[in-house]
Amino acid sequence: MNVAERKQFDGLLETILHDLPPQLHDLLEEVPLIVEDHPSPALIDELDLTFRDDLCGLHDGIPLTHRSVNDSGHLPEQIMLFREGIWSTAQQLAGRFPHNLHEQIQITLLHEIGHHFGLDEDDLAKLGYD
């Protein structure tokens, strides 16, 4: 990913973040949003991915609906977005690439926020965030 593409991506992400409802702004104050070009080699191995661009985002942590007092020894949760995976997915969608990039960033962010709130893949698909 070149500098111009990264700037375009980050500018769209800033717009999307700005437009989120206040409740989600509050959430992102508590749960770090990490944006990387692609997942680390260790994460690729851990998730058994074939290609590093297969992953657009990841919620790493225990969803709110599954937490208990016994979870005190876990690492803090985080939401990760991967520019190259999102960019690649947006390019694969037919037609309106610039619009698709904005849409794909937004879908991925909301998808990972959904996992934070305990939604599984089926729930997210029903909402259109798959």
Segment 26-50 mean pLDDT: 85
pLDDT in tens, 2-23: 999 999 999 999 999 999 888 8
* Radius of gyration in angstroms for the set of CA atoms belonging to the chain, rounded to a whole number: 15
Q: If pLDDT is split at 50, 70 and 90, which confidence band does 59 have?
A: confident
Segment 68-85 mean pLDDT: 74
Pairing between β-strand 33-36 and β-strand 78-82 as defined by DSSP bridges:
parallel
Domains detected in the chain: 3-61+77-127 (3.30.2010.20)
pLDDT at 34: 92
From CA 81, how far away is CA 109, in angstroms rounded?
7
Report the predicted TM-score, pTM, of the whole model to 2 decimal places.
0.78
Contact 85, 44 (CB under 8 A): no
Mean of the per-residue pLDDT values of the chain:
80
Map tokens 């998730």 to a residue: 47
From CA 90, how far away is CA 53, in angstroms rounded?
12
